[in-house]
């Protein structure tokens, strides 16, 4: 059976065996199985329960200050070997004993709502934890939307649109250099805006085309749009 | 070269006694800033003013072409212009931070900042906090800034109104100017086109007026009239907070065209 190790400031306080079919209550009150004496811990804070797939779940019991797993706030979370549960300033480390059978849950991880109730932010550490959670989620949102130009002709491979502003044109200072007598020094740009990618015409005789219609000013890019500028042709794809 | 017509107003509103907002409207530099300060005992006023003044003086050195130190931590994913604006924000952040650390009366103060800077034929928009920057193109209005509040980040994640968060926590900023010794701003840069209209405001306005309402006022009015009308509307609806708004309309964009297109334009072929 796996073990929960209670730590405070890197000192191991005690160990608890996690058993199938038995729920482990965590909180400040004496009635809990794991008692954590600290004002930032709720009377009934969280519990660990057996999951259908043979694994174990940690469930936050609407605690005031929240339960974190690997610095992410959770409401419920399927525990994996090495997960660090933070409750107030205490940490509980979940781990299987060597050679013990573990449920295969790696692929079934679900996105959980990360914050569901009134909360009081009382420590700086806590605020940092929350800020980090928000930052990570935001980073994930951005990453989810990363656009890529997959070249169809004029070049090979793909160009990831990770810069806020990608410049396309004849001048060697451009991010994507396209030659041609009628090509502008900077012919077009692709901007990463909060609402998506936008292609704009900048200058030169060769105006960019999106799905064969000429762009005179700017246009929002939709996935699978075909972009052509001079000899260059590429498909706009979102990768996540 | 971007030619604009602009106007900006700040108003104490109906409920507050002091104004913690600051703004900059500088057509010569093409720089427009709104900062919404926070912190008790006039500290919020200090914070927002320090933000605007620090950014202005830094950008002036750059605009005058006088010596400006090389950037240490240039983000290579951004243009040089965007890096300049970011540097001014970082400098303003450390100014506010050092004052708040050294003066007891200013402890814990902070500010938002939202700025738009026109350079060549493009714009750079940057923000920290929740003062929105809108871009109006024809009949559409979109937000160029990324609101750094817990509630907005929730909404962005698709949690929407399923989330019940304490009222106090809702407006809590996840980032602010002068809160920590470093700050990370969100940046958006793009080409500018004739007719584009930018609106920068404090939440005293955006809490009272929805983006479609702002669009309706701004698209038919000249910038100065639009600003006055927007402030009036926010006050009619309670004016709970200080209200600041800047409206900038792009009148013309002169592009650095190549030799051929200039020739063809002269010949009337393009």
Q: Where are the domains of chain B?
A: 2-267
Task: Mark yes or no for CB contact B77/A164 under 8 Å.
Answer: yes
Chain B positions touching chain A (beta carbons under 8 Å): 77-79, 82, 121-122, 137, 142-146, 150, 153-154, 156-157, 159, 162-166, 169, 172, 174-175, 186-191, 193, 255-258, 260-261, 264, 270
pLDDT digits (tens, 9 = 90+) for A117-164: 223 334 455 556 555 555 554 544 444 578 999 999 888 889 999 889
Task: Mark yes or no for CB contact B146/A165 under 8 Å.
Answer: no
pLDDT digits (tens, 9 = 90+) for B185-240: 999 999 999 999 999 999 999 999 999 999 999 998 999 999 999 999 999 999 99
Rounded to whole angstroms, the Cα distance separating B6 from B4 reads 6
Report yes or no: A141 at the B interface, CB cutoff 8 Å.
yes
Contacts of B189 in chain A (CB under 8 A): 164-165, 191
The order of strands in the sheet holding B2-11 is: B2-11, B243-253, B197-201, B133-137, B140-143
Ranges of H-type helices in B30-114: 43-63, 80-102
| Residue B97 φ/ψ, nearest 5 degrees | -60, -45
- Find the helix or strand (DSSP H, E) in which A185 lies: none
Do residues B13 and B243 make contact, with C-beta atoms less than 8 angstroms apart? Answer: yes
Which ipTM value was assigned to this complex?
0.79
Classify residue B104 by its DSSP letter: G
Pairing of strands B140-143, B133-137: antiparallel
Rounded to whole angstroms, the Cα distance separating A192 from B92 reads 25
CA distance A223 to chain B (A): 19
Contacts of B187 in chain A (CB under 8 A): 164
> Cα B55 to the chain's mean position, in Å?
12
Query: What is the SS3 assignment for B34?
Result: strand
Task: Mark yes or no for CB contact A164/B78 under 8 Å.
Answer: yes
Q: pTM higher than 0.80, yes or no?
A: no
Q: Which of A206, A215, A217 is the best residue to mutate to test the B interface, defined by the most B CB atoms within 10 Å of its own CB?
A: A217
Task: Mark yes or no for CB contact A121/B162 under 8 Å.
Answer: no
Indicate the fold that domain B2-267 takes in CATH: Phosphatase 2c; domain 1 (3.60.40)
Contacts of A192 in chain B (CB under 8 A): 188
pLDDT digits (tens, 9 = 90+) for B107-137: 889 999 999 999 988 999 999 999 999 999 9
Task: Mark yes or no for CB contact B166/A118 under 8 Å.
Answer: yes
**Per-residue confidence band for B68, with pLDDT thresholds at 50, 70 and 90:** low
Do residues B38 and B47 make contact, with C-beta atoms less than 8 angstroms apart? Answer: yes
Query: For tokens 């005058």, what's the residue?
Result: B64
CA distance A95 to chain B (A): 31
């Amino acid at each position: 059976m796996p073990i929960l190790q209670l730590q405070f400031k890197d000192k191991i306080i005690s160990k608890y065996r996690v058993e199938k079919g038995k729920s482990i209550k965590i909180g400040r009150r004496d009635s809990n199985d794991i008692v954590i004496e600290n004002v930032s811990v709720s009377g009934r804070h969280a519990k660990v329960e057996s999951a259908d797939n043979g694994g174990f779940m940690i469930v936050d019991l609407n605690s005031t200050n929240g339960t974190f797993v690997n610095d992410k706030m959770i409401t419920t979370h399927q525990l994996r070997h090495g997960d660090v549960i933070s409750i107030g300033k205490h940490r509980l480390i979940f781990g299987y004993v060597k050679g013990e059978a573990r449920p295969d849950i790696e692929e079934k991880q679900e996105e959980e709502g990360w914050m569901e109730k009134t909360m009081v932010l009382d420590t700086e550490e806590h605020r940092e934890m929350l800020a980090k959670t928000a930052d990570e989620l935001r980073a994930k949102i951005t990453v989810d939307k990363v656009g890529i130009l997959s070249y169809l002709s004029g070049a090979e491979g793909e160009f990831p649109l990770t810069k806020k502003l990608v410049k396309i044109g004849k001048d060697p200072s451009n991010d994507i250099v396209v030659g041609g007598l009628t090509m502008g020094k900077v012919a077009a740009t692709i901007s990463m805006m909060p609402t998506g990618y936008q292609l704009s015409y900048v200058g030169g005789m060769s105006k960019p085309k999106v799905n064969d219609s000429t762009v005179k000013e700017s246009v929002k890019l939709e996935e699978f749009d075909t972009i052509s500028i001079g000899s260059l042709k590429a498909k706009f794809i979102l990768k996540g | 070269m971007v030619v604009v017509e602009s106007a900006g107003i700040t108003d104490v509103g109906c409920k507050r006694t002091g104004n913690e907002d600051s703004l900059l409207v500088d057509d010569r530099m093409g720089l427009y800033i709104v900062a919404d300060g926070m912190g008790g005992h006039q500290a919020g006023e200090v914070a927002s003013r320090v933000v605007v003044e620090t950014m202005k003086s830094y950008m002036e050195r750059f605009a005058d072409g006088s010596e400006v130190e090389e950037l240490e931590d240039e983000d290579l994913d951004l243009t040089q212009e965007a890096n300049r604006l970011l540097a001014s924000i970082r400098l303003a952040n450390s100014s506010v931070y050092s004052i708040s650390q050294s003066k007891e009366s200013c402890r814990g103060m902070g500010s938002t900042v939202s700025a738009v800077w026109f350079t060549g034929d493009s714009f750079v928009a940057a923000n920290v906090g929740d003062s929105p920057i809108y871009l109006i193109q024809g009949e559409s209005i979109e937000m160029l800034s990324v609101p750094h509040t817990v509630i907005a980040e929730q909404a962005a994640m698709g949690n929407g109104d399923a989330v019940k968060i304490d009222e106090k926590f809702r407006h809590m900023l996840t980032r602010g100017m002068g809160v920590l010794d470093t700050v990370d701003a969100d940046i958006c840069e793009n080409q500018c086109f004739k007719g584009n209209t930018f609106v920068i405001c404090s939440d005293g306005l955006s809490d009272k007026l929805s983006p479609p309402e702002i669009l309706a006022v701004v698209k038919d009015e000249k910038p100065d009239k639009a600003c006055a009308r927007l402030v009036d509307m926010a006050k009619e609806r309670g004016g709970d907070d200080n209200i600041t708004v800047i409206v900038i309309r792009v009148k013309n964009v002169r592009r650095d065209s190549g030799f051929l297109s200039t020739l063809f334009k002269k010949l009337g072929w393009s």
